[in-house]
Chains A and B, each alone.
Chain A
Amino acid sequence: MKPSLLQQSRRSNSFRGSTPLDSSPDGGGATKSPAAIFWLVLHGLCCLVSLVLGFRFSRLIFFLLFSTSTNSNTGLYQTSPFRTVADIAENLAFSTSLPSLDSSPANRTSGVSSSGVVVGRHGILIRPWPHPNPEEVMKAHRIIERVQREQRAQYGVKSPRTVIVVTPTYVRTFQTLHLTGVMHSLMNVPYDLVWIVVEAGGVTNETASLITKSGLRTIHIGCEERMPLSWEDRHRMEARMRLRALRVVSEKKLDGAVMFADDSNMHSMELFDEIQKVKWIGAVSVGILAHSGHSDEDLSAVRNEGDESNSPVPIQGPACNSSDQLVGWHTFNSLPYVGRSANYVGDRATVLPRKLEWAGFVLNSRLVWKEAVDKPDWVKDLDMVARDEANVESPLSLLKDSSVVEPLGSCGRKVLLWWLRVEARADSKFPSGWIIDPPLEVTVPARHTPWPDAPPELPTSEKVTSIKESSEKRSTKTRTHRSRRGSRSKRKHEARSVDAHVSERHSHEN
């Protein structure tokens, strides 16, 4: 590209006429010798013919006249098997600005000896089907994948640990929505994964069928207690469920990094790369998306009250000093929301997180094992903690001394996941498994558009209701769905017709 940039203005200069210092002999056209005039006239004639024909006829003549006398054919590009942009004219190897030199095309070869590279115009080779071949695309993707795997092996995490994900859930309207999101995030994690799903209300087929679709290694545990309705109780129940999962980790001696993925949270892929760095217990920054079902006036009122925080979205996580050491915690300030927060699940008011959410913590699974080789002494025994279940608010309760927490994500500066609680009203119903069975009642039957030569069918049953327009529009829609063979254009006309009589419409159709 760059040499061409250089050439741009200069080449146009040369075309207009060589500079006085340029000493190449191309002044042939300037002299009024009969030969020059003859060539000019011939050139003009060929230009006229080209106008008529549509391609560069003039050069073709010269090529045909002189090609047999030279041996430059070998250097020319064959364009017949291919479609070319500029038809036949580009077969010629002549420069465009020097018509007087076309008697010696052999001069144009750039080499002293015979070489395949010829200076001048070449054909633009285009293959007949210039579209990608799907097999080749797949091969290319395999190459890309192999390269990326090698990159990860070289620059990424050495000896990656298994990620153990703990998710408390229960069957409700929004469960599929939330759980599918988490599931897809986990399916994209490039490390080994164990997904512990703890379900309130016992193990159900709903949840089981959903999580088996992921293809991940899952451990599905049920807690017999049902999920309570108030947010306070729900948070406590979830803590109990998570402890239950940790007990499973301890019993099965699962090895890896434990993280808590609540089903309505949103995780970024960098989070999973970051948790590989944890030594014993780490904390990441969580963005809190405290959302209210009410209109914006509620939110703005809250913001006006307590506006000391700089970030528009409150963040929960470790606070560091300038030497990247943990000095404290950023927690959620719930004062502006006092009296306005949601009380029960499905409430339209803002749902508030706890002071420090479980989701922001990562543990080395050996912390919860009964016996581990270099288990540090600042961690409490899991069973002791579990006995006091009601007061366990965050994984910090597992520690005797909370200053050992490692801040991750460049010391809490990076927000790697977002906390969100969105639930439908407690009394909302949804089809189980999101499968509509038995099918919904038919309100208007679908019409078949008859074949053009088939006799028109008489309608079997038709609900002639007062809302005729809507039913007509509905039926035209179903008609378009069912049969495209019919006369489409006619259908467009009749969609607007407000006709009470059915048979009239039929005749209109034909």
Chain B
Amino acid sequence: MRYEVCDCNFNFVNVGSAGDVLEDNPVGKLQVYVYELPSKYNKKILQKDSRCLNHMFAAEIFMHRFLLSSPVRTRNPEEADWFYTPVYTTCDLTPTGLPLPFKSPRMMRSAIQLISSNWPYWNRTEGADHFFVVPHDFGACFHYQEEKAIERGILPLLRRATLVQTFGQRNHVCLKEGSITIPPYAPPQKMQAHLIPPETPRSIFVYFRGLFYDVNNDPEGGYYARGARASVWENFKNNPLFDISTDHPTTYYEDMQRSIFCLCPLGWAPWSPRLVEAVVFGCIPVIIADDIVLPFADAIPWEDIGVFLAEKDVPNLDTILTSIEPEVVLRKQRLLANPSMKQAMLFPQPAQPRDAFHQILNGLARKLPHDKNVHLKPGEKILDWSVGPVGDLKPW
């Protein structure tokens, strides 16, 4: 289906066929039951530290708030298709604002113990019709360091549940089959406040602001970002087409709107809010992260919108970008200009149609109806509650 978008001078601009799936309305397609957990799992944590509402992991909190007042919510668990457990596992922050994942496995385990003992719905499917929002670095592996995360693997109790997470990498332990990848939270009001007139000519060819070497944790390089960011710096620091540096300019958002390409390389984890910012500001994202799974990949045609680059091809980044035909560049920009694309990346308050909350519900609706083997026969048990590192089994 071709989409025509009205740019406010009433000139209909053809934006090509961009994901009709984005336009789906999930209301009426599914029912979600929200467990009422004691506030120590959600409200009290938020009260202790309200910074959780602004950082990039805030999706878990906003999803809870959205579901509480959404038309898909049902108070009758018998007619629910999906069950949601509101537990804020990414809200234990250090003084500088970084979430510590060390207590998260215990918190999640404790929450699941609660719902399995107070309601029968967990036990009848062992969580196969439950979904959890785990926006941390490596999802439900609950660790920030990749090796440790891989070692831990996904929390055993969540093996059958659907995970809604920001992390996505193919053939990775921490991304399980059937997970829904979502964008990280980026503050919509802040981005709206920095919009510049669209007729400002885009004069920067490639733009990037961020670290190339993580001197605190990986001084030699080669570890951070698998050496890709360092490679970008070493190859292109003298190239006038590349506006890349480690600055923190106040005009970061404005500069993105004046750029044609925005680099989105991996860091310690393959995802970052940079992708969301690039889409919102109409800058073509250049994704440098091997095997990454991007948010809502089944609804958004990332191949058509962005440029994908293998990490080994980073030294040829300039050749690759300059050899793109101008018409292709224009087409990508037109697709990016589609407001549904931008809306699907955002978590606005209050929720708006076709935003990320709705895309998550669409994703959940697409997984319905549940498979027959979701419901366990009486007495059958698949999950082993004693599996896992000793520290996880302690009560929270």
Contacts and interface: CB of A to CB of B under 8 A. Distances in A.
A1 B209 contact: yes
A218 B291 CA distance: 59
B392 A23 contact: yes
Nearest to A155: B199
Interface of A: 1-12, 14-15, 19, 21-24, 77, 82, 85-86, 90, 95-96, 98, 108, 110-113, 115-117, 119-127, 130-133, 136-137, 139-140, 142-144, 146-148, 150-152, 154-156, 158
Given A122-B226, A140-B322, A130 B234 contact: yes
Given A130-B234, A143-B260, A147-B329, A86 B221 contact: yes
A13 to B, nearest CB: 9
B238 interface: yes
A14 B145 contact: yes
Interface stretch (B43-51, B76-84, B170-178): B170-178
B292 to A, nearest CB: 9
B267 A11 contact: no
Nearest to A128: B315
Given A130-B235, A146-B329, A1 B146 contact: no
Contacts of A14: 145
A95 B147 CA distance: 8
Nearest to A101: B147
B221 A85 contact: yes
Contacts of B96: 9
B265 to A, nearest CB: 9
A286 to B, nearest CB: 25
6 contacts: A6-B137, A98-B147, A132-B238, A132-B241, A144-B202, A144-B205
Given A3-B137, A3-B144, 12 more contacts: A3-B269, A10-B100, A22-B148, A110-B171, A110-B173, A113-B171, A115-B170, A125-B315, A142-B326, A148-B202, A154-B7, A156-B199
A7 B220 CA distance: 16
Contact of A148 (B147, B203, B268, B391): B203
Interface string B319-340: 1011110100110010000000
Interface in B1-59: 7, 9, 11, 13, 56
Nearest to B204: A144
Nearest to A148: B201
A140 B236 contact: no
Contacts of A98: 147
A254 B9 CA distance: 29
B99 A6 contact: yes
Given A6-B99, A11-B217, A140-B205, A132 B392 contact: no
Interface string B105-148: 00000000000000000000000000000000100000011111
Contacts of A126: 231, 234-235, 315
B91 to A, nearest CB: 14
A136 to B, nearest CB: 4
Interface of B: 7, 9, 11, 13, 56, 94, 96, 98-100, 102-103, 137, 144-148, 150-152, 169-173, 197-199, 201-203, 205, 209-211, 214, 216-217, 220-224, 226-227, 230-231, 234-236, 238-241, 260, 267-269, 271-274, 290-291, 311-312, 314-316, 318-319, 321-324, 326, 329-330, 333, 389-392
Contacts of A9: 94, 96, 98, 216
Contact of B267 (A1, A22, A127, A151): A1
A14 B268 CA distance: 15
Contact of B145 (A4, A11, A115): A11
Nearest to A120: B223
A285 to B, nearest CB: 21
B184 to A, nearest CB: 8
A147 B322 contact: no
Contacts of B272: 1-3
Given A10-B98, A123-B222, A127-B235, A147 B202 contact: yes
Nearest to B319: A136
B227 A123 contact: yes
B260 A147 contact: yes
B205 A143 contact: yes
A126 B230 CA distance: 9
Nearest to A150: B330
Contacts of B211: 1, 4-5
A21 B227 contact: no
Contacts of A120: 147, 223
Contacts of A131: 238-239
A143 B391 contact: no
A85 B267 contact: no
B222 A117 contact: no
B267 A3 contact: yes
A437 to B, nearest CB: 40
Nearest to B325: A143
A143 B315 contact: no
Contacts of B231: 124-126
A86 B240 CA distance: 26
Nearest to A118: B226
A290 to B, nearest CB: 34
A10 B239 CA distance: 34
Nearest to B7: A154
Contacts of B224: 4
B221 to A, nearest CB: 5
Contacts of A115: 170-172, 291
Given A125-B312, A146-B329, A130 B236 contact: yes
A116 B209 CA distance: 27
Contacts of B137: 3, 6
Nearest to A90: B222
B272 to A, nearest CB: 6
A73 to B, nearest CB: 15
Nearest to B202: A147
